[in-house]
Amino acid sequence: MKPWHKWPGLILTFLLLAACQPSGEHEDDTTENESAEESEEKSEEEEEEDDTPAIPVETSSATRGDIYATYSGTAPVEAFTDATVIAKVGGEVRKIYVEEGDDVKAGQILARLDGDRLRLEQLQTEANLSKLQRDYQRNVDLNERGLISAGDFEKIRYEMEALAATNKLAKLQLSYTDIRAPIDGVISERYIKIGNTLEIGTPTFQVTSLEPLVSYLHVPEREFRSIVAGQDTVLTIDALGGETFQATVARVSPIVDPATGTFKITIEVSDETRRLKPGMFARIGIVHDVHINALQVPRSALIDEIGTTSIFIVEDDVAHRREVETGFSGNGQVEITTGLTDSDIFVAVGQGGLKEGSKVTVINVDEPTESAASNDASE
C-alpha cells in the first residue's frame, strides 16, 4: 500500500481527537463554574442569615403561688327581707315618728292615726261587757239554787263570751291606729304625710333589712357538682370603684330548671359599713377549688392555637417554641401543669413576631427570675 493511502485515516483520527479534547475540557469547566456559583449562593444565604437582626423581646420566668378555680357571673344585690307596711285601719295621719334612712326594730311605732271612733267603740263594748258580767254572776247564784233554767243560764254565758270577744276585737282595731314596723331594718321609703286620710290597705312605709344582703345567681347545670353551700365568694361592685366584698354561698337549689338549664344559688354578704346598697350591680366570683404553690405565667405570654397552647422559651438568645398544658386561671395568670419549669426563661412581650429559631435580644431586666430563684432556694 502506498504511504499516501494512509493519510485519510490519520487525518480522521486527528480530527476525532481534536473534537473530543475541547468537549471534555468544556464540561469540566462548566461543572467547576456551577460548583463555584452554588458555593457563592450558600455563602450569600449564610451571610444574609447572619445579618438578620435580633427581635427585641421582654422575658420573664414563671412564679409560684396559690391559684383558684372560680365561677364568674353577674347579678344585682338585693335585700333578703323587704316589707311594705300597710294601714290595717282607716283614719287620719296624726303623727309620723320616723323618716327615710332611720333604723327601726320590729314592733316600733312608725306613725299614729286618728283613733277616736275606734276608741269610743272599744269603750262601749267594754261597758256592755261589764254589765253582762254582773248579770251573769247573779244568774250563777240563781242557777245554783235552781231558780233559773239551764238553757237560760247557758244563753247568758254565751252572750257574755261573745261580747268579751267583741271587746277584744275593738281593742285590736284601736291598736292598729299605731302603725308599727313588722321587721328590723331601715326605712327605705315613706309614702304618707301628716294630715293624709288613709283607707284600709294603704301603703305607708317600706322597711328594708340590710343584714344580710343577697344575690341570686343562675348557674349552668355543668357547674352543679362544683358549687356547694359554704363556698367563699367575692363580690366586686363597679359603682364603688371596683371595691370587693367577701360573701358566702348560703343555699343551692336542689333542682335544675329544664327551660333554662340552670340552677339557682343564693349568695349572702354582710356589710357593716353599709356602703353596699340593694340594687347595686355585682360581678360575682365563686371559689370552688384551689391549687397550692402552682407554677404560673401571665396569660398574655401564651399562644393559643386550635388544639394547642404554646410559649416561647429563650436559650442562648434564640427563641424556641414549646407546647404546654394549662390548669386554673385567674387575675391574669394561668397555671402551667406540664411543659415549663421554674428555671425556664420565656418571652413575656414580643412573641407575636417570633418563629422557631428566631434570634432575640432581651430588653428588660428579668426581675421575676430572681423571685423564682429565691423561691427555689427556700424550697
Question: Cα separation of 231 and 308, whole Å?
Answer: 32
pLDDT of residue 369: 42
Using alpha carbons only, what angle is made at residue 157 by residues 156 and 163, rounded to the nearest 5 degrees?
90
Nearest to 231 by CA among 284, 291, 177: 284
- Residue type for 28, please? D
How many whole angstroms from its chain centre is CA 78? Answer: 16
Q: What is the CATH number of domain 71-80+210-290?
A: 2.40.30.170
Q: What is the CATH number of domain 55-67+292-378?
A: 2.40.420.20
Collect the ranges in the chain with pLDDT lower than 50: 1-4, 15-16, 22-28, 30-31, 366, 368-379
Nearest to 87 by CA among 194, 206, 177: 177
pLDDT of residue 108: 94
* CATH architecture for the domain at 115-176: Orthogonal Bundle (1.10)
Nearest to 94 by CA among 178, 191, 20: 178
Per domain, the residue ranges of the chain are 55-67+292-378, 71-80+210-290, 115-176
Q: pLDDT for 65-105, tens place per residue?
A: 888 888 889 999 999 889 999 999 999 999 999 999 999 99
pLDDT of residue 110: 95
Give the pTM: 0.59
Give the count of beta carbons closer than 10 Å to the beta carbon of residue 248. Answer: 16
- Residue type for 198, please? L
How many whole angstroms from its chain centre is CA 99? Answer: 35
Q: At what angle do helices 150-175 and 116-144 cross, to 10 degrees?
A: 160
Q: pLDDT for 98-139, tens place per residue?
A: 999 999 999 999 999 998 888 888 888 888 878 777 777 766
